[in-house]
């Protein structure tokens, strides 16, 4: 059975675009694109068969399936040639039982997913292996791509430079001057990237790289390119796999522009829709006070107009909040309860909470909403550039009720 995936507008505009096409925004509305998979084709393989396939690939020496990302290749980029995959055996990171720390927090079953135990020291390797592999496939197909570029404050540039070096693809990184630590700067330099230090902030670097990548010979590697989400979503699959296909009650992770949160939600929903799990976890996002567009949007949004007022104090962050996933709550567990398991993701990893036994019947008792019901959800959720959050909002509206003050 062949599987397929493509780009499609997050707002549902008509049109599907190949993952091998150089395109970052919807030609109709100008909004972002997301990767869609042929779920009907994936459903032709039973849930138990997917579990067996993924379990059998753990520890494999057959390239590229030893990677935690490419072990789920059919769910990531199914049609890419194995010889064009660029991997450093990322993923399969430790899920650590934080027993003593959990007792200090009065959390009985606390686990820490150490996603930062990777080639460049951050979870961004999981997304970059996918993006650079797709670029490598495009070059093999004859696409005249001369380099891959990104704006960064450290981790993205390190990941891009490392995977670009592994593939033999030149990389260009735009960094804000004096805002990147030496430890983060040394990796792109050591991997041969062209490093440009600009007298601006991250937003200025992002504007510059978007201008440069208008020329299709230079490919954009920032998170507005949703290929990276496909690699990062495998963290949630891996967490469940490490719990013997049980689902944690809570997943707690840090969020900036919330690409990783979106990836987690997508991974859990994909397992749910394909019957590998029978419940969804709750997802809790922590944001730094000085980089909290989701939190500010939640507090200040106008539910009638869907518009969020600008803030002089944090204008740059608020300009990016439309990329925030407002739906950070996923589904609630069902059945008999036991003490909560929590998975926590540190700044360079993730935390996972307690799981319940959910093996056995895969009955679909999920609350659903029709497309018409979804259109009555909050305007800012309809405008959100993350379809995952809209799915969450439609299925679990109680998680989107602002608590009374």
* The pLDDT value given to residue 353: 55
Better-scored residue on pLDDT, 296 or 231: 231
Q: Where exactly are the structural domains of the chain?
A: 54-122+227-405, 124-226
* The pLDDT value given to residue 8: 97
* The pLDDT value given to residue 193: 97
Q: Which residues contact 33 (CB under 8 A, 6 or more apart)?
A: 7, 8, 9, 10, 17, 23, 24, 25, 26, 226
Better-scored residue on pLDDT, 128 or 291: 128
Kindly indicate the confidence band of residue 10, based on its pLDDT and cuts at 50, 70 and 90: very high
Residue 312 has pLDDT above 80, yes or no: no
Both tokens assigned to 388: 């995952």
The total of other beta-carbon atoms located within 10 Å of residue 22's CB is 17
* The pLDDT value given to residue 293: 80
| Cβ atoms of 58 and 69 closer than 8 Å | no
pTM of the model: 0.78
3-class secondary-structure state, position 9? strand
Considering only 164-178, 191-205, 241-255, 368-382, which range has the smallest mean pLDDT? 368-382
User: What is the spatial distance between Cα 362 and Cα 275, in angstroms, rounded to a whole number?
Assistant: 6
Pairing of strands 341-344, 282-286: unpaired
Q: Which residues contact 51 (CB under 8 A, 6 or more apart)?
A: 245, 276
Whether domain 54-122+227-405 has CATH 1.10.3470: the reply is no
Q: How far is CA 152 from CA 32, 90, 134, 205, 262, in A?
A: 19, 21, 20, 8, 19
User: Which H helix or E strand runs over 251?
Assistant: strand 250-254
The CATH number of 124-226 is 3.40.50.1100
* The pLDDT value given to residue 66: 94
Q: How far is CA 363 from CA 199, 218, 320, 343, in A?
A: 56, 47, 39, 25
> Each residue of 334-369: b (16+ CB within 10 Å) or e?
eeeeeebbbbbbbebbbbbbbbbebeeeeeeeeeeb
Mean pLDDT, rounded, for 188-208: 94
Mean pLDDT, rounded, for 8-30: 96
Quote the mean pLDDT of the chain: 80
pLDDT in tens, 134-170: 999 999 999 999 999 999 988 999 999 999 999 999 9
* The pLDDT value given to residue 217: 96
Residue 313 has pLDDT above 90, yes or no: no
Kindly indicate the confidence band of residue 361, based on its pLDDT and cuts at 50, 70 and 90: very low
Residue 90 has pLDDT above 80, yes or no: yes
Kindly indicate the confidence band of residue 365, based on its pLDDT and cuts at 50, 70 and 90: very low
């Amino acid at each position: 059975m062949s599987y397929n995936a493509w780009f499609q507008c997050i707002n549902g505009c008509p049109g599907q675009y190949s993952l091998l096409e150089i395109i970052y925004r919807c030609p109709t509305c100008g909004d972002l694109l997301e990767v869609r998979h042929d779920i009907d084709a994936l459903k032709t393989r039973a849930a138990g068969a997917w579990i067996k396939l993924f379990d059998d690939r753990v520890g494999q020496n057959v390239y590229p399936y030893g990677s935690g990302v490419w072990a789920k290749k059919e769910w990531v980029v199914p049609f890419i040639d194995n010889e064009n995959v660029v991997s450093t055996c990322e993923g399969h990171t430790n899920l650590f039982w934080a027993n003593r720390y959990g007792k200090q927090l009065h959390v009985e079953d606390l686990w820490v997913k150490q996603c930062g135990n990777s080639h460049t020291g951050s979870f961004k390797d999981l997304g970059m292996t996918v993006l650079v592999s797709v670029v490598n496939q495009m070059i093999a197909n004859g696409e005249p791509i001369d380099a891959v570029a990104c704006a960064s404050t450290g981790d993205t540039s390190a990941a891009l430079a490392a995977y670009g070096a592994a593939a033999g693809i030149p990389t260009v990184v735009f960094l804000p001057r004096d805002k990147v630590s030496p430890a983060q700067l040394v990796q792109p330099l050591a991997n041969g990237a062209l490093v440009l230090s600009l007298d601006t902030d991250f937003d200025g670097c992002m504007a510059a790289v978007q201008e440069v990548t208008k020329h299709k010979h230079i490919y954009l590697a920032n998170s507005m390119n949703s290929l990276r989400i496909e690699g990062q979503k495998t963290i949630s699959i891996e967490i469940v796999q490490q719990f013997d296909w049980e689902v944690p009650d809570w997943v707690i992770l840090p969020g900036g522009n919330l690409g990783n949160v979106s990836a987690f939600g997508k991974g859990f929903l994909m397992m749910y829709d394909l019957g590998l799990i029978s419940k969804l976890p709750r997802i809790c996002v922590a944001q730094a006070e000085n980089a909290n567009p989701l939190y500010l949007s939640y507090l200040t949004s106008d539910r009638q107009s869907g518009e969020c007022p600008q803030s002089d104090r944090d204008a740059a962050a608020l300009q990016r909040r439309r990329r925030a996933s407002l739906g950070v709550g996923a589904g609630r567990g069902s059945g008999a309860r036991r003490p909560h398991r929590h998975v926590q993701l540190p700044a360079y990893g993730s935390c996972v909470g307690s799981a319940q036994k959910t093996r056995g019947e895969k009955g679909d008792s999920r609350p659903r909403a029709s497309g018409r019901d979804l259109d009555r959800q909050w305007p800012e959720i309809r405008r959100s550039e993350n379809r995952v959050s809209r799915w969450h909002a439609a299925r679990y509206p109680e998680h989107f009720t602002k608590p009374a003050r």
